[in-house]
Chains A and B, each alone.
Chain A
């Protein structure tokens, strides 16, 4: 899951000089993920994983890192 998220974010949304050096805990918002990017990311996740992520949960804690994103998705996949 994280690999797909990494591919999408680094390919479509944010430029990182050395993606391999970017850990799953590094801050995506600091790296430049902006509001438009977050919306696109959510659309990607919803299509890819068949989950609906509520607007009320779009907050830094859920989108800050790859680990946070994966937890957020899993919570909805299992729920």
Chain B
């Protein structure tokens, strides 16, 4: 494809490039690519005409939603296409098929659909309907937006008032990664970059435990959802507050998962569990930016002997998190991301995944806590949202991505795992162990 200058819509920012490198890594592992997904479970078939109208309006206002990702020289750009892709799809459960199976198979097809990066649509909306179950499933390619952006897009689709919808994406701002970087002078950026490198080198001095150490070739992503009752969720929130403090709900989930994995995979090799997680640079409740990635990475790491002592583990994670913020190590990854965006995707991916020295995988699992989903009740066109869950692709290893959110006072945990490296029986066992950890029923 020959690209004309006027067809270029946007250049990828450093955080977009970071997610693109992971997309490349996922594809190299034989999987579909770095797709993120939000599933809204609905009580009935929504108002399809309204939904279609708002999706069309959204793609007009944000043309990058129908763009094609193209490489020009070393950099990547969103470019206008001659034939914009379709963004809205409907899937209806045939009368003779079990509805739950139909939903699982349809989502499985959507998340595992292998397409060239250049031809895949940046975002797609799928409506799955049946006699009793309905899901509005949004699937995006990660350089297009991050999870907060996807949440904003869903809120946009839920707003009935056109004037209110126009507030989304305003005021238009540039990439927040670059805005944050611009706050530092060049020598401060270098100091931050060196600080970030030293921090990662320190993390890499401990070999990361791989909970699924087998070597079968990755074939497909599967997922399993665990939804807690309101009472259990209340108990988890209380325990998270007690163990990890007001600032550490996510750390509580991470710590519990480390312990559950340690009990599940007692024979796994390595020194410590290490989990990367992203934090968002947008202000809370901000309606902009809608598209693009505006995040930076952090790590939670805990040696195995600490993981085996519940109290010590949460004290350790809390202290580690506080130190990272006190020492500004969170922002230290910004210049690293900027520098990484000049590398080839292969080199960047290797740097992001492999520990310095040993070359082994740095992550024991991927983690993301979406927090409380606050899409207003009664706002979805023609239907009520009864549940929410998330899905995302992950490299293999670690072959496990854990996502959490709270909707209507119920904690929903999504276990995304790569088959046959892991399998549903292992994940079921992990879910039981995780529930016991979350509810402190282990000691």
Contact = CB atoms under 8 A, between A and B. Distances in A.
A59 B316 CA distance: 19
Contact of A31 (B246, B248, B285): B285
A60 B283 contact: no
Given A12-B283, A13-B284, A55 B325 contact: no
Interface string A9-31: 00011111000000000000001
Interface in A5-61: 12-16, 31-40, 43, 55, 58-60
Given A39-B321, A58-B245, A58-B246, A34 B284 contact: yes
Given A39-B325, A40-B325, A55-B318, A32 B246 contact: no
A63 interface: yes
Interface string B273-309: 0000001001111110000000000000000000000
Interface centre among A12, A15, A16, A37 (most CB of B within 10 A): A15
Contact of A39 (B247, B282, B284, B371): B247
Contacts of A31: 284-285
B20 to A, nearest CB: 24
Contacts, number: 49
B284 A14 contact: yes
A67 to B, nearest CB: 18
Contacts of A58: 245-247
Contacts of B250: 35
Contacts of A63: 246
Given A35-B249, A36-B279, A60-B246, A55 B284 contact: no
Interface string B206-249: 00000000000000000000000000000000000000011111
B285 A55 contact: no
A36 B148 CA distance: 15
Contacts of B286: 15
A35 B247 contact: yes
Contacts of B249: 35
A8 B411 CA distance: 31
Contacts of A35: 246-250
Nearest to B167: A17
A39 B250 CA distance: 13
A55 B322 contact: yes
B185 interface: no
B286 to A, nearest CB: 4
B246 A38 contact: yes
Given A39-B325, A55-B322, A32 B247 contact: no
A55 B245 CA distance: 8
A31 B181 CA distance: 27
B326 interface: yes
Nearest to A63: B246
A63 B160 CA distance: 34
Interface in B300-356: 318, 321-322, 325-326
Q: Which residue, of B248, B282, B284, B326, has the highest number of chain A Cβ atoms within 10 A?
A: B284
B246 A33 contact: no
A40 B245 CA distance: 15
A60 B247 CA distance: 10
A32 B286 CA distance: 10
B285 A32 contact: yes
B326 A43 contact: yes
A33 B246 CA distance: 11
B33 to A, nearest CB: 28
Nearest to A38: B247
A63 B246 CA distance: 10
A7 to B, nearest CB: 13
Contacts of B318: 55
B42 to A, nearest CB: 26
Nearest to B324: A39
A15 B283 contact: yes
A16 B285 contact: yes
A15 B325 contact: no
B284 to A, nearest CB: 3
Given A55-B245, A58-B245, A58-B247, A33 B284 contact: yes
Contacts of B322: 39, 55
The 6 tightest CB contacts between A and B, nearest first, are: A32-B284, A15-B286, A32-B285, A35-B247, A15-B283, A15-B285
Interface of B: 245-250, 279, 282-287, 318, 321-322, 325-326, 371
13 contacts: A13-B284, A15-B287, A16-B285, A34-B371, A35-B248, A36-B247, A37-B284, A43-B325, A55-B322, A58-B246, A59-B245, A59-B246, A63-B246
Interface of A: 12-16, 31-40, 43, 55, 58-60, 63
Given A14-B285, A15-B283, A35-B249, 7 more contacts: A12-B283, A15-B286, A16-B285, A32-B283, A32-B285, A55-B318, A58-B247
